[in-house]
Amino acid sequence: MNPPLREPAVLPPIDAVGAVRPRRLRVVLWVALVVLLLAAQTLLVALAFHYHSARTQEEVEANAAAASAELAQLFAKDLQAMLAMPGRDAPAGQWRTRAEQLLVARPELLRFERRDAALAILDAVDTRARPPLFTQLRRDQMQLETELACSATQRRGGPTYSRSYFVPRADGMGMEVMDLCVAERDGDRVVGFVVASYSLPGLLDQLSAQAQAPGHDLSFVEADGARLAHGRTHVGAGVYKASRVIDLPGTTMQLRVDSAATRPSLVPDLDTGLVIGLSLTLFGVVVLLARDVRKRTRVEGALADALAFRKAMEDSVVTGLRARDLQGRTTYVNPVFCAMVGYAADELVDRDPPPYWPPEQLPEYQRRQQRRLASAPTALSRDAFETTFVRKNGERFPAMVFEAPLLDSAAQHTGWMSAVLDLSAQRRVEEVARQQQERLQATARLATAGEMASLLSHELNQPLSAIAAYATGSLNMMDAHARGEAPDPDLWPMLHQAARRIAEQAERAGRVIKSVHDFVRRREHAREAIGGDALIEAILPLVRLQARKSDTRVELDLPTPMARVFCDRAMVEQVLLNLTRNGIQAMQGAPRDGEPVLTLRVRQTHPQWVRISISDRGPGIADEVARQLFTPFFTTRSDGMGLGLSVCRTIVEQHGGALDFANLRDAQGAVLGAEFRFTLPAIASEPRTAREQAAAVAVTP
């Protein structure tokens, strides 16, 4: 029976256990997500660092390889140049000239020496680009490495490089120097040596720009890492280093390349910065997402509450609810409506026409629906109407439908919402009440009729006696005529007159009986438009019956034109009869000075209301009586039933009017009598003139 309202496809869990489990799961998922993100970001940064370091290291290695290759080339060229130097047999001075040229062409070379086989210096040329090498210390004091190299040359039979050694300089700085010793031979015999002294810093400076990559520091180091000589640039940061061993005949050198690059730091590095920036953005997005999810969760919670609230409301309301779209198709029904019409929700939704419309009234209902759908959906366009629906079992029942436009969250008109009340129970109660009321009224009528029985006997006595007298007289005349005792020529006219009198009296008696009969007999309860005078005239014979007995004068005060009312004639006549009877009885019980007069007055006091009043000249109504006047069975009369006034008030109120009373007083405040008046709904009539209002007709019984 659940309503098929279009609801979100996924509903949040409503029960407590169900709500806790997903919440815990959600927390775990979020923690996992944050941990994963942190791990991924850290890894990313670490990888970025590693990549950066590896690239820098590769660069350094490449530089070292390039520098060592270039160095090897340099040595090879120098060696070639030395081997091509003029020999001993060349003209004197030629060697020296060549040596000078070479020193100019090759700045890494500081000095050439020409020695004899015993290593004694024969000739020496120093470069002009620098101060002479051996000024601080004499050459013979620092030639141990040279001598070792030359003896190795002699032994090995090829050019040999010495180990490097430090030569102090005049500027106090000194320089690391290495010698290359090439033997001069005469056949197999070594006749002398040519020694070239290299400046190790000069060597480094001579490496081409390609090998001397900017941002890198070149140096020669010893095996233990102690630096021997340094290139021109001193930028090495000592982080990314690469070494190349340069094997030379007689010695081994270690070339070291040191990059100026430091360890990647978090801030200045662009790619690291990018990665970190992206990570931070990602975190920001995750935080925003988390907040959004939290907000959604809250909204979902509120929605679940609203749904639960709505469901509870739907289950508790006693009103049938039905929603229709703009095409008139049912989109929603609540359980109460389903129970009311006896159909399941899916038998009602999307059905047009709905199955609970009586088939014989289909065209009329369709027209009504068309009118409704065509009307503009203003906030005030609510509608209430009574209708008849059919239950699934075929039973028809009256229903009250309250309809209002259905607006969605964007205030768009999407259809109509109706609240439907099953009126059948109410109708049953009303019917029972009506029947009870009717019975009560019938009882009251019968009571009145009982009272009238005595009046009737008195009233009928006269015509019946007259009839009897006329009949007896006629019989006597006919008997005398038959016997021929007194033939009368006027017999026939007399008999004719007697018969007419009998007929008149019988008619009079008949009228009396009919007026009582008319009143007592149950009549159809139907409201009709009727003139106030017609109502009064209908009860007048009965009123007069009672009035005549107590010598009461009945006065009528009727306006011209007569106001018309919309009422149940039989019921209002009963009211009039009760009130006139009460008035007459009041005047009998406590006769006042002057003759008893009962006045019936009709006035249109308001365009929608007509007032009928009955005033007497009785003792009026005492305060203690007034308090209980309309209580059923309250009476001050020994033979009264105490129902008259309560029935009168019920009848008047059923017509939408009011019944009240007042004591009439003279100028001194003395009570003149009582006036009972009641209002009835008026039928629109021409407005009356003042003259017409003043018109009053006095009628005596």
Question: Which residues in this chain contact ligand ADP in the complex, by CB under 6 A?
Answer: 578, 582-583, 586, 616, 618, 621, 625, 629, 634-637, 640-645, 674
In the bound state with ligand ADP, the residue whose beta carbon lies nearer, of 244 and 617, is 617
| Closer residue to ligand ADP (CB): 224 or 624 | 624
Q: How many CB atoms lie within 10 A of CB 487?
A: 9
Minimum CB distance to ligand ADP, residue 504 (Å)? 35
Alpha carbons within 13 A on the beta-carbon side of 366: 8
**Between the CA of residue 334 and those of 310, 338, 340, 456, 673, what are the distances in Å?**
11, 6, 10, 64, 61
CB of 546 to ligand ADP, least distance (A): 12
Cα distance between residue 408 and residue 256, in whole Å: 80
Is the separation of the CB atoms in 179 and 198 below 8 Å?
yes
**Length of the chain counted residue by residue:** 701
Q: CB-wise, 203 or 674, nearer to ligand ADP?
A: 674
Please identify, using beta-carbon distances, which residue of 279 and 628 lies nearer to ligand ADP. Answer: 628
Task: Give CA–CA dist 233/217, Å, rounded.
Answer: 6
User: How many CA atoms within 13 Å lie on the side-chain side of 470?
Assistant: 18
Give whichever of 334 and 650 is closer to ligand ADP, judged by the CB atom.
650
Contacts of 249 (CB under 8 A, 6+ apart): 156, 158, 159, 160, 161
CB of 562 to ligand ADP, least distance (A): 25
CB of 443 to ligand ADP, least distance (A): 11
CA distance 663 to 671: 6
- Residue with Cβ nearer ligand ADP (126 or 616): 616
The four Cα atoms 431, 432, 436, 439 give a dihedral, to 10 degrees, of 60
Query: Is the separation of the CB atoms in 314 and 322 below 8 Å?
Result: no
Q: How far apart are CA 169 and CA 142, in angstroms?
A: 13
Smallest gap from Cβ 633 to ligand ADP, in A, equals 8
User: What is the C-alpha to C-alpha distance for residues 275 and 113, in angstroms, rounded to an integer?
Assistant: 61
Q: Strand 553-557 relative to strand 597-606: parallel, antiparallel, unpaired?
A: parallel
β-bridge partners, 531: 564
Which residue(s) pair with 611 in the sheet? 603, 679
> Which residue's entry shows tokens 């047009």?
352
Q: Which is nearer to ligand ADP, 385 or 633 (CB)?
A: 633
Residue (118 or 590) nearer to ligand ADP, CB: 590
Cα 119 to Cα 125: distance, rounded to the nearest angstrom:
16
CB atoms within 10 A of CB 523: 13
Please identify, using beta-carbon distances, which residue of 272 and 580 lies nearer to ligand ADP. 580
In whole angstroms, how close is the CB of 645 to ligand ADP at the nearest point? 3
Kindly state the smallest distance separating residue 350's Cβ from ligand ADP, in Å. 60
Name the residue nearer to ligand ADP (CB basis): 148 or 440. 440
Lookup: tokens for 152: 């190795």
Nearest distance in Å: CB 471, ligand ADP: 40
CA 251, 260, 176: angle at the middle one, nearest 5? 30
CB 574, min distance to ligand ADP, A: 11
Is-contact 219 244, C-beta < 8 A?
no
- One DSSP character per residue, 296-318 reads HHHHHHHHHHHHHHHHHHHHH--
Q: Which is nearer to ligand ADP, 34 or 520 (CB)?
A: 520
**Between residues 358 and 642, which has the closer beta carbon with respect to ligand ADP?**
642
Distance CA 496, CA 505 (A): 14
Shortest Cβ distance from residue 666 to ligand ADP (Å)?
17
Q: What tokens were used for 57? A: 């290291």
Q: In angstroms, give the least distance from the CB of 453 to ligand ADP.
A: 16
> With respect to ligand ADP, which residue has the nearer C-beta, 142 or 629?
629
∠ Cα 285 287 292 (to 5°): 90
Q: Which residues pair with 325 in a beta bridge?
A: 415
Q: Sort strands 227-230 and 330-333 into parallel, antiparallel or unpaired.
A: unpaired
Q: Shortest Cβ distance from residue 600 to ligand ADP (Å)? A: 13
Backbone angles phi, psi at 268, to 5 degrees: -75, -15
**Pairing of the two strands 383-390 and 330-333:** unpaired
Least CB distance from residue 378 to ligand ADP, whole Å?
51
